[in-house]
């Protein structure tokens, strides 16, 4: 993959593919999950062929999501560790929301909002997976007591709503902060984008002469 | 067969609008199972298989008279046998015909996510409309009596229909028709309660002081009722629930959570939109690019 001259690599090709596969699974799970959750959304089951097909496919999509998200976790966890910059950033959330980013303390590769999205999903997806297995009628319908399944289905629904709320914030932030969508679609950002939104990350790349996404990224990307 | 073109629904699963219900002038029916008259012959079980063309798989002997050992997709009613030693040291053989209770407030219907997969007719019968069933197993979680069973073959949920097809044309259910001792009766719910009252008075005269009718209130009453000699302890009869009710977990899942969740999602989406209108996009400026260039050249590094 080559990137336009003078740009910074925000997300490597593998990361981007991994991200969009996860996103596809998430969207399909949301559509089928909402159809199973509330009658006003049941018509969404048609997108999957029929209610029966939707019921059959939903758990398998969940399995795909867990595997795919594990890949994202491996690639992102280190840059999502919470530090003092994040606390300082979070305290200026009002300025962030008002697009006055020059008044907000600089942060590294991810800001506190992105980290909340990341750790929120890290927390919720395993809960969805485990409770989902418990209510996977075809394979595990007889594995646990009905009372256990009642708890599981309630927790599963609540966790799913939590995940969808986080997802709405995630998608909106990507639309709101211009250049983010390109960073995940095509992988690159302009130096100004990095300077404005993730100055410490930008400076660490500048100091090491790395093309991104991390200061120790190999120099082969520099050829672009 | 779909749903016999019903226009007498009082409830329809996963449906917010009033279902076709103009033909509501119907008697509420009930099946009355007089446990004290049952001899455990299983004729009802056979008649159920016969009428409904069910042939469940042959099972192995499980050390009890039950056969098969539990309800299954092809066994909609099952004789359950319990041996009970009473206070006087007498052995009592408590035989109960298990199956769908046709609750007035059906937990299965409340839990079902598929529109029209579970319906309740004006006569009180709770029926599964298989062509709408998606096989999710939510009815199993909703049922206070552990009755519905999902077929591993066609992934549809099955249970007693109270012979809704027979009742619809003025016949009594097959089990009622076949019972040789008159232990199973069928008629209007009021008549069945009156009949039960007479029978209970008789039982009390005979020394069963706690004889009574099982028509549990927490599910709004049922359209299958039992006359029990020990109505104070229904669980003696192979675990008939003492106080059956729709689980509070199911209530929270199907009641409170649905509107709250929808409101939360709508609030988040609208909030995002309003933010976009009010605050607008966050765009990288030419100053940012210039500052970034200065930073890169000032450090003597190549542009990355």
User: Could you tell me if B82 and B190 lie in one domain?
Assistant: yes
- Domain holding A148, by residue range, is 13-76+111-187
Q: Which of A97, A192, A209 sits opposite B292 (nearest CB)?
A: A192
User: Could you tell me if B218 and B269 lie in one domain?
Assistant: no
User: Could you tell me if B163 and B97 lie in one domain?
Assistant: yes
User: Could you tell me if B23 and B118 lie in one domain?
Assistant: yes
Tell whether B2 is covered by a domain: no
State residue A212's pLDDT score: 86
Of the candidates A177, A187, A181, the one whose C-alpha atom is nearest the C-alpha of residue A11 is: A187
Q: Which of residues 206-225 of B touch A (CB under 8 A)?
A: none
pLDDT digits (tens, 9 = 90+) for B168-196: 999 999 999 999 999 999 999 999 999 99
* Average pLDDT in chain A: 95
Tell whether B4 is covered by a domain: no
- The CATH number that applies at residue A119 is 1.20.950.20
Tokens of A145: 């007591």
Closest chain B C-alpha to A217 CA, distance in angstroms: 12
Could B135 and A190 be called an inter-chain contact, meaning their C-beta atoms sit closer than 8 Å?
Answer: no
Contacts of B136 in chain A (CB under 8 A): 36, 55, 137
User: Could you tell me if B111 and B260 lie in one domain?
Assistant: no
Could B284 and A179 be called an inter-chain contact, meaning their C-beta atoms sit closer than 8 Å?
Answer: yes
User: Could you tell me if B289 and B161 lie in one domain?
Assistant: no
**ipTM rounded to 2 decimals:** 0.93
User: Using CA atoms, how far apart are residues B253 and A151, in angstroms rounded to an integer?
Assistant: 9
User: Could you tell me if B101 and B192 lie in one domain?
Assistant: yes
Structural domain count, chain B: 2
Does A79 score more than 80 pLDDT?
Answer: yes
Could A192 and B289 be called an inter-chain contact, meaning their C-beta atoms sit closer than 8 Å?
Answer: yes
Find, in chain A, the residue whose alpha carbon is nearest to that of B261: A161
State residue B259's pLDDT score: 97
State residue B1's pLDDT score: 43
Classify the C-alpha dihedral B266-B267-B269-B274 as positive or negative.
Answer: positive
Buried (b) or exposed (e) across B242-270, using 16+ Cβ within 10 A?
A: eebbbbebbbbbbeebbeebbebbeebee
State residue B304's pLDDT score: 45
pLDDT averaged per 10 residues, chain B (length 304): 73 93 92 97 97 93 89 97 92 96 98 97 96 97 98 97 95 98 97 97 96 97 97 97 97 96 98 97 96 81 46
User: Using CA atoms, how far apart are residues B201 and A33, in angstroms rounded to an integer?
Assistant: 53
- The CATH number that applies at residue B176 is 3.30.70.20
User: Using CA atoms, how far apart are residues B118 and B147, in angstroms rounded to an integer?
Assistant: 14
User: Could you tell me if B163 and B285 lie in one domain?
Assistant: no
Average pLDDT over residues A127-153: 97
Tell whether A83 is covered by a domain: no
User: Using CA atoms, how far apart are residues B157 and B150, in angstroms rounded to an integer?
Assistant: 4
User: Could you tell me if B212 and B272 lie in one domain?
Assistant: no
State residue A218's pLDDT score: 59
B121 is in an annotated binding site: no
User: Could you tell me if B203 and B274 lie in one domain?
Assistant: no
B163 is in an annotated binding site: yes
Closest chain B C-alpha to A68 CA, distance in angstroms: 25
Average pLDDT over residues A212-221: 70
Could B291 and A192 be called an inter-chain contact, meaning their C-beta atoms sit closer than 8 Å?
Answer: yes
Is B275 within 8 Å of chain A by CB? yes
Please tell me the pTM assigned to this model.
Answer: 0.93
Q: Which of residues 154-193 of B touch A (CB under 8 A)?
A: 155
Contacts of B73 in chain A (CB under 8 A): none
Structural domain count, chain A: 1
Contacts of A52 in chain B (CB under 8 A): 134-135, 155
Tell me the CB-side half-sphere exposure of residue B195, using CA atoms within 13 A.
19
Find, in chain B, the residue whose alpha carbon is nearest to that of A195: B292
- Domain holding B287, by residue range, is 253-298
Could A178 and B282 be called an inter-chain contact, meaning their C-beta atoms sit closer than 8 Å?
Answer: yes
Could A191 and B261 be called an inter-chain contact, meaning their C-beta atoms sit closer than 8 Å?
Answer: no
Tell whether A8 is covered by a domain: no
Tell whether A65 is covered by a domain: yes
User: Could you tell me if B233 and B260 lie in one domain?
Assistant: no
B38 is in an annotated binding site: yes
Tell whether B303 is covered by a domain: no
Tell whether B168 is covered by a domain: yes
User: Could you tell me if B242 and B267 lie in one domain?
Assistant: no
Please identify every residue of A annotated as catalytic: 170
């Amino acid at each position: 993959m080559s990137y336009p001259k003078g740009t910074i690599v925000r997300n490597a090709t593998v990361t981007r593919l991994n991200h969009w596969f996860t996103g596809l699974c998430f969207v399909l799970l949301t559509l089928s999950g909402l159809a199973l959750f509330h009658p006003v959304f049941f018509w969404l089951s048609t997108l999957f062929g029929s209610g029966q097909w939707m019921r059959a496919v939903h758990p398998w999509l969940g399995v795909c999501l867990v595997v795919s998200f594990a890949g994202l976790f491996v690639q992102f966890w280190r840059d999502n560790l919470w530090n003092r910059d994040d606390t300082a950033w979070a305290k200026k959330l009002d300025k962030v929301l008002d697009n006055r980013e020059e008044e907000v303390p600089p942060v590294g590769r991810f800001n506190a909002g992105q980290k909340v999205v990341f750790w929120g999903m890290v927390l919720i997806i395993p809960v969805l997976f485990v409770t989902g297995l418990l209510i996977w009628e075809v394979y595990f319908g007889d594995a646990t007591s009905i009372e256990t399944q009642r708890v599981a289905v309630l927790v599963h629904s609540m966790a799913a709503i939590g995940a969808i709320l986080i997802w709405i914030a995630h998608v909106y932030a990507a639309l709101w902060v211009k250049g983010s969508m390109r960073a995940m679609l095509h992988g690159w950002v302009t130096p100004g984008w990095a300077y404005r939104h993730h100055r410490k990350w930008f400076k660490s790349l500048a100091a090491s002469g790395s093309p991104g996404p991390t200061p120790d990224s190999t120099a082969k990307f520099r050829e672009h | 067969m779909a749903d016999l073109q019903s226009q007498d629904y009082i409830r329809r699963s996963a449906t917010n609008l009033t279902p076709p219900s103009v033909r509501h002038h119907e008697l509420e029916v009930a099946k009355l199972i007089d446990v004290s008259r049952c001899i455990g012959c299983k004729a009802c079980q056979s008649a159920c298989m016969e009428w409904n063309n069910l042939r469940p798989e042959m099972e192995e002997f499980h050390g009890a008279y039950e056969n098969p050992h539990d309800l299954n997709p092809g066994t909609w009613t099952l004789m359950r046998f319990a041996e009970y030693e009473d206070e006087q040291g007498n052995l009592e053989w408590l035989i109960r015909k298990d199956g769908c209770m046709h609750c007035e407030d059906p937990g299965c219907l409340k839990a079902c996510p598929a529109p029209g997969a579970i319906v309740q007719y004006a006569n009180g019968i709770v029926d599964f409309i298989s062509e709408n069933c998606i096989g999710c197993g939510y009815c199993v979680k909703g049922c206070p009596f552990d009755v519905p069973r999902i077929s591993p073959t066609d992934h549809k949920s099955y249970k007693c229909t109270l012979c809704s097809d027979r009742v619809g044309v003025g016949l009594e259910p097959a089990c009622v028709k076949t019972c040789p001792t008159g232990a199973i009766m069928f008629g209007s719910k009021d008549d069945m309660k009156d009949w039960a009252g007479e029978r209970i008075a008789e039982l009390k005269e005979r020394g069963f002081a706690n004889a009574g009718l099982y028509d549990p209130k927490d599910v709004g009453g049922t359209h299958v009722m039992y006359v029990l000699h020990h109505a104070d302890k229904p669980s003696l009869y192979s675990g008939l629930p003492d106080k059956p009710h729709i689980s509070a977990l199911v209530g929270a899942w199907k009641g409170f959570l649905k509107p709250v969740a929808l409101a939360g999602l709508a609030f988040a989406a609208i909030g995002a939109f309003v933010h976009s209108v009010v605050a607008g996009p966050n765009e990288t400026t030419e100053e940012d690019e210039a500052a970034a260039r200065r930073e890169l050249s000032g450090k003597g590094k190549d542009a990355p």
